[in-house]
Chains A and B, each alone.
Chain A
Amino acid sequence: SQQGEEDPQALSIQEGENATMNCSYKTSINNLQWYRQNSGRGLVHLILIRSNEREKHSGRLRVTLDTSKKSSSLLITASRAADTASYFCALKAYSGAGSYQLTFGKGTKLSVIP
């Protein structure tokens, strides 16, 4: 199955700045999701964008999806120290027989410096 590839692998910014992370993939998807993981913990869902959508917002988060380029971006505006975490894109794709796979990339490690 395919995995998303996040870029950059690591990102360090000052508090108040915006953070942008990108995700590229190779085959068709049902939807694309973004998750956050604090060190050593489970993942928390941030936002889901369907393959027929181009942009979604949730609070300080903005996600775009370009299916022609097979890429997505996550923008976090006005970052805070508490946003420090790893961020993963996840691809939901139909795998046959009524089943869907949810596969993850390697993530972007975001550090927000106070």
Chain B
Amino acid sequence: DGGITQSPKYLFRKEGQNVTLSCEQNLNHDAMYWYRQDPGQGLRLIYYSQIVNDFQKGDIAEGYSVSREKKESFPLTVTSAQKNPTAFYLCASSIDGGHTEAFFGQGTRLTVV
């Protein structure tokens, strides 16, 4: 089946540790996005990528890093520099950046313990 897959669904991390969230799509989409959602809040853009080997910072990039080495993969690393990392993380992709809809994964819930 075509789609966008995030893993793991739940992730626990100790303070001071880096952790990487996976996002894979087999839709042959060029554009990919990472968002953070806090309880009862909207989505805030962390990073986005239009093509392979290129990405841009969103509104809340501090404490996060990404890579886009392959078209189908856009992993997000939450570093120890992120002061409040506990949140629901959503990855999305779209065919391109223009008049196209985004498809979302089911999210990863990260908890710092």
Q: How far is the CA of A102 from the CA of B100 in the complex (A)?
A: 11
Check if B76 is an interface residue, CB within 8 A of chain A. Answer: no
Which residues of the partner chain B approach A106 to less than 8 Å between Cβ atoms?
41-42
Of chain A, the residue at the smallest CB distance from B49 is: A99
Interface positions of A from 79 to 114, Cβ below 8 Å from B:
88, 90, 92, 95, 97-107
Contacts A99-B56, A104-B42 given: A42-B106 contact, CB under 8 Å?
A: yes
Contact bitstring B31-56, A, C-beta under 8 A = 1, else 0: 10101000001111100101000001
Say yes or no: A100 contacts B42, CB within 8 Å.
Answer: no
Check if B16 is an interface residue, CB within 8 A of chain A. Answer: no
Say yes or no: A43 contacts B90, CB within 8 Å.
Answer: yes
Say yes or no: A41 contacts B45, CB within 8 Å.
Answer: no
Say yes or no: B106 contacts A102, CB within 8 Å.
Answer: no
Q: How far is the CA of A33 from the CA of B42 in the complex (A)?
A: 14
Q: How far is the CA of A45 from the CA of B103 in the complex (A)?
A: 7
Contacts A50-B99, A100-B50, A102-B102 given: A42-B90 contact, CB under 8 Å?
A: yes
Chain A residues near B (Cβ < 8 Å): 1, 3, 30-31, 33, 35, 40-45, 48, 50, 88, 90, 92, 95, 97-107
Task: Knowing that A40-B107, A45-B103, A102-B92 touch, tell me 9 more A-B residue pairs with CB under 8 angstroms.
Answer: A1-B58, A43-B90, A43-B104, A50-B99, A90-B102, A99-B97, A100-B31, A104-B42, A104-B45
The 12 listed contacts between A and B (C-beta, < 8 Å) are A33-B101, A35-B102, A41-B106, A45-B103, A48-B101, A95-B56, A98-B97, A101-B58, A102-B92, A104-B35, A104-B43, A105-B42
Chain B residues near A (Cβ < 8 Å): 31, 33, 35, 41-45, 48, 50, 56, 58-59, 88, 90, 92, 94, 97-107, 109
